[in-house]
Amino acid sequence: MSVAVATGLYGISFGALSVVAGVSVPQTMVLSLLLFSGGSQFALVGVVAAGGSPVAAVATSTLLGVRNTLYGAVVAPLLGVRGWRRLAAAQLTIDESTAVAVGQRERAATRAGFWVTGIGVFVLWNAFTLLGALAGDALGDPRSWGLDAAAGAAFLALVWPRLAARPAQVVAALAVAVTAALVPFVPAGLPVLAAAAVAIVVGVVATPRPGARPGAAA
C-alpha cells in the first residue's frame, strides 16, 4: 500500500502535464485508464508537448511499454490465473506490482503483493491523474510555472535509479549524445526513437556469440 500511495500521488504530475500539453481532460483520463503505464504516458505527453506527430508519440510510448510484456512473462507463472482474471492481471502488470510480487518468498504473498499493489496503484493513479488534470486546466501557460520542463525532469527521475550499473551508464551516455545531435535536425519524437535504437545496437554488439570465450569481444 505504501508503494501504491507513493506512485498514485505521482499521477498529479501526469494529469497536469497532459492538460497543459494540449490533451483534454477526458482524453487524459482515457489514456491513463487504458494505457496505465507511467513512463509510456509521460513519454507520449512529452512528444505531444514538443510538437511531435501522433505517430512519433505513439511509437515512443509503445517502445517504452514493451517492458511490460517482459514483466508478464515473469509474473504469469507466479499468479497462475485464467479467464477474466488473466486480462485483469495483464492490465495491472506494471513496474510496481511486478517488483512487489517477485520480492515475496511464498506463493500466497506473491499473489497478494501483486494484486494489492496493482489495484492500489490503478485506483490512486487515476484518481490523482484526474485531480492533476483539473488543476492543470486552470494553470494557463505552462512556461510560467516551469511545467514545460517538468516532463523531462519527471522522466529523468524514473530512469535515474536504473543507471547504477556501468553498462546502463554507457548506453545512457550514447543515447544522450545521439539525441542531442538529432534534435536540431529532425521532428520531435524521432530523437527519442533513435536513442532507443542505441540500446538495441549496444545489446546486439555486446552479446557474446555462441561458442565465444568468456570475456572475448563479440
The answer to whether residue 186 scores a pLDDT higher than 50 is: yes
Displacement of CA 141 from its chain's centroid (Å): 26
Per-residue pLDDT reduced to its tens digit, 54-87 = 888 888 888 778 778 888 888 999 998 999 999 9
Burial 54-87 (b: 16+ CB within 10 A, else e): eebbbbbbebbbeebeebeeebeebbebeeeeee
DSSP letter (8 states) at residue 105: S
Residue with cell 482515457: 30
Q: How far apart are CA 174 and CA 199, in angstroms?
A: 9
Q: For 189-217, write each residue's pLDDT tens digit.
A: 677 778 878 888 887 887 666 665 555 54
Q: How far apart are alpha carbons 86 and 69 in whole angstroms?
A: 13
User: Higher-confidence residue: 136 or 115?
Assistant: 115
Q: What phi and psi, each to the nearest 5 degrees, are found at residue 164?
A: -75, -35
The pLDDT value recorded for residue 202 is 83
Instruction: Work out the pLDDT band at 218, boundaries 50, 70, 90.
Output: very low
Distance separating alpha carbons of residues 175 and 203, to the nearest angstrom: 13
**C-beta atoms surrounding 126 within 10 Å:** 17
CA distance 34 to 14: 14
| pLDDT (0 to 100) of residue 11 | 85
Our measurement of the distance from residue 109's CA atom to the centroid of its chain's CA atoms, rounded to an integer in Å, reads 26
| Report field, pTM of the whole predicted structure over 0.75 | no
DSSP, res 208: P
By percentage, how much of the chain surpasses pLDDT 90?
25
At residue 63, the 3 state secondary structure works out as helix
Cβ contacts of 143 within 8 Å, gap of 6 or more = none
Domain chopping of the chain, boundaries: 2-161, 164-218
Q: Render pLDDT for 160-169 as a digit per residue (tens, 0 to 9).
A: 777 888 888 8
